Chains A and B, each alone.
Chain A
Amino acid sequence: MNLKQTILSLCGLMSVSGNEKVASQELERIIGSVFDEHKVDPMGNHWFVKKCGRENAPKILIDTHFDEIGMMVTDIKDGGFITMTSVGGVDTRILQSGEVVIYGKEPVYGVVSSTAPHFRKPGESDKLSTMEELYVDTGYTKETLETLVSLGDPVGFKPVYGELLNDRIFGKAFDAKSCGACAVAGLAEISADELAGDVYFLFSSEEELGCRGAATAAFGIVPDYALILDVTHAAVPEVKNRNLSPMESGVVVEIAAPTDRGLTLMIKDLCDAKEIPYTVQACPGSTGTNANVIGMTADGIPSALCSLPLKSMHSSAEVISLKDAEALKELVKAFATSNEIAEVYAR
């Protein structure tokens, strides 16, 4: 399984929060062969199970969220324009002149409007338009558009991917489906009898709206222990006051307040043992990830959080490094096959 291709295939799917079920078949096609079971639960979580083949084996949860930030249609205007609102924390600075796809009866291409400077009202020279003030230009008449698009239809960034130097790539929705691709590519490389237990790979829903899916899925699975994967901000020049991990530093092992310190340290040891590059980040408050909710589910699920460094989060041109992705893939392999961790954390 080619990691880069898997990343691009998964991230190119439309999975704006609340629409995680739409791509079920596509998802099954891309990653289904790696698993024994695929199930979609009422919250739109995708559970994929890879069995180890042993009775009463521990349940190992590897979670990453399937949903991506995006928009939603709020109105259809004369001239073939739509207005929209945010689903999750979209970076509104990147919208104007950007390209989107409205997922109506069929995908409808659109350009986000911008107003030329000489048509702007005085005093607005440095004001940033809110999302609600922008239009998506579809090139259709209102009448035709109304047959294609309905209020509430999801709107996503047009999937455009490109390569930068040093095996870095840019595009939409690496947050967090790229982590899922790493997990799947890793699990594809290990056989059932190498697994330390049954692996539940959870592509959870509605993380961007407050970790809604992971809580119910974790309750449904009740794993023995869990590894949560998500992206994290990589070091950028304009943020000096946080010790962010640079690109190509490998996996970020998060010593996060709501997670299990012992499990986290065992993961760190795994990285050392397998020579997987990593940095450690201290995360004293909310992690902003599913690690906030999975641990405190059911009778408690010891969990750890590892991240992939990413730049320009929640934009249409997020940047990740394939070297870091490779490291995360190796970590997932090491974690899923670690009998040491299973011995300590199995119920």
Chain B
Amino acid sequence: MKYSGLELLKHLSLAFGPTSREDVVRNLIVEQIEGECDGYCEDRVGNLIAKVSGRGLDYHPENPQRLMLAAHMDEVGFMIREITTEGYLKFGLLGGMDPRVLCGRAVTIYGKDDKIIRGTIASKAIHMQTPEERSKITPIEKMYIDIGAMDKEDAEAYVSVGDCATFASDFVVFGENEKCIKGKALDDRAGCAALIEIMRALHASSCDLPFDVYFAFTRCEEIGISGAVVAANTVAPDYAIIMEATAINDLPGVSGPARVSSLGGGVVVSLVDAGTIYDSAFVRYALQTGEDHDIKCQIKQFASGANDARVIQRSLSGVRVLGLALPTRYIHSASNVTTFEDYESARDLTIAMLKEWKLN
């Protein structure tokens, strides 16, 4: 079944895909891009790479330029480390998460034979917490997942050490004119959705792309061991645009650059983050295209976070990179919040940039 727009975002958000278990998401993406590109393959580490060929006067088939769009398939999650004698699951984190957003959340585990098991990240009831425990966060080591098992043997019939879990979190459309969306894994399924829709737009249109466009759906971004480097090594792009979701902090009482960017302010263009100084001409081209097409853009005002641009830029002999991101509240939690309009800005800006390529 093929989806587009909000429905595509929803299905990608709901798909199970913690780092190391990107297969479900990958299969869903394959379903979405079938017939929408000039070919795709899964590489040796599990990245999915698709291609839309260039053509026209500026395209040189014997030695084509290549532009790579990258979005990661994996989401933050949990890996089961131990099953206790009482039948609870101790876990480690797949990706960086604040312990504050874990207690009480429902999770989905892909257990034995990929059977889906529900659980909750249990917490000692407030009545039994000491005053100190009430004012401090519960460390991850003291948390566990409750799947309802009677004991270790019962739990082991369903779940094994090494199995993975993610938040169980539905997809909600809410707020003013139903503009906001909430879901898990919008970091970076929003990027995946954008890539799919950009691919469809380019493949369907008769525009003369001066280069081959590669779409890399990558693995293992959340743990910093980016599979994107392998995709970059394979594609050897001249340019790359990394489509991400970026953490924003536009809460009451926060002013100036500390807000990072604003929800509803349009696609976020990064100048610099903790991993990358982006190509300044590329940044200017993005902002100019936004202005020309009346697509909302905003500059990321706080140099935080890092993404696959870090490894893509420094792959092979170096790649010119641009980072475009969806402004997202409460990233790396069960409830990422962003807006569909911001998603459209990211998608449409990229399409406009590629269709009338003018970067020198």
Contacts and interface: CB of A to CB of B under 8 A. Distances in A.
A binds B: yes
Interface of A: 77-81, 89-94, 96-99, 109-119, 126-129, 135, 137-141, 144, 160, 162-166, 168, 170, 233, 236-239, 242, 247-248, 288, 311-317, 319
Range of interface residues on chain B?
A: 35 or more
Contacts of B150: 166, 247-248
A69 B136 CA distance: 21
Report the 4 A-B pairs with minimum CB-CB distance, sorted nearest first. Answer: A139-B175, A164-B148, A94-B104, A139-B180
Contact of A316 (B104, B125, B134): B104
Nearest to A95: B104
Interface of B: 84, 86, 88, 96, 98, 100-101, 103-106, 117-128, 134-139, 142, 144, 146-150, 154, 158, 168, 170, 172, 174-176, 179-180, 182, 247, 249-252, 254, 258, 260, 302, 304-305, 329-335, 337
Contact of B100 (A129, A137, A314): A129
A119 B258 contact: yes
Contacts of A111: 182, 329-330, 335, 337
A152 B134 CA distance: 25
Given A93-B123, A128-B134, A135-B252, A168 B98 contact: no
B332 A116 contact: yes
Contacts of B172: 99, 109
Nearest to B339: A139
B103 A79 contact: no
B325 to A, nearest CB: 14
Nearest to B119: A164
Given A140-B175, A162-B168, A312-B122, A135 B127 contact: no
B60 to A, nearest CB: 43
Nearest to A161: B106
Given A165-B149, A314-B127, A319-B148, 6 more contacts: A79-B251, A116-B249, A138-B175, A139-B179, A162-B120, A312-B122
B120 A170 contact: yes
Contacts of B121: 317
A13 B250 CA distance: 33
Nearest to A109: B174
A242 B127 CA distance: 13
Nearest to B259: A119
Contacts of A99: 172, 182, 335
Given A79-B252, A238-B142, A97 B123 contact: no
A128 B100 contact: yes
A165 B148 CA distance: 5
A144 B136 contact: no
Contacts of A119: 247, 249, 254, 258, 260, 302, 304
Given A91-B126, A165-B158, A233-B127, A114 B100 contact: yes
13 contacts: A79-B251, A93-B103, A94-B123, A97-B330, A98-B104, A116-B332, A118-B247, A126-B137, A137-B329, A144-B176, A170-B118, A238-B142, A316-B104
Most buried by A among B88, B254, B337: B337
Contacts of A166: 148-150, 154
A244 B12 CA distance: 43
B158 to A, nearest CB: 7
Nearest to A110: B174
B136 A126 contact: yes
Nearest to A111: B335
A110 to B, nearest CB: 8
A140 B337 CA distance: 13
B252 A81 contact: yes
A312 B330 contact: no
A78 B148 CA distance: 42
Most buried by A among B172, B174, B250: B174
Given A91-B125, A238-B142, A317 B149 contact: no
A238 B144 CA distance: 10
Contacts of B149: 165-166
Contacts of A247: 150
Contacts of B305: 118
Given A166-B150, A238-B142, A312-B104, A140 B176 contact: yes
B144 A237 contact: yes
A92 B126 CA distance: 8
Given A98-B104, A312-B120, A80 B258 contact: no
Contacts of B127: 89, 233, 288, 313-314
A242 B176 CA distance: 49
B122 A93 contact: no
A116 B247 contact: yes
Contacts of B137: 93, 126-128
Nearest to A314: B126
B125 A317 contact: no
A118 B134 CA distance: 23
Nearest to B142: A238
Nearest to B122: A312
Contact of B123 (A91, A117, A170): A91
Nearest to A313: B125
Given A116-B332, A164-B118, A319-B146, A137 B337 contact: yes
B251 A317 contact: no
B104 A93 contact: yes
Nearest to A237: B86
Contacts of A79: 250-252
A312 B249 contact: no
A111 to B, nearest CB: 5
Nearest to B167: A97
Contact of B333 (A78, A109, A114): A114
Contact of B98 (A116, A162, A236): A116
Given A97-B334, A163-B118, A239-B128, A315 B123 contact: yes
A24 B258 CA distance: 47
B307 to A, nearest CB: 14
B12 to A, nearest CB: 19
B333 A96 contact: yes
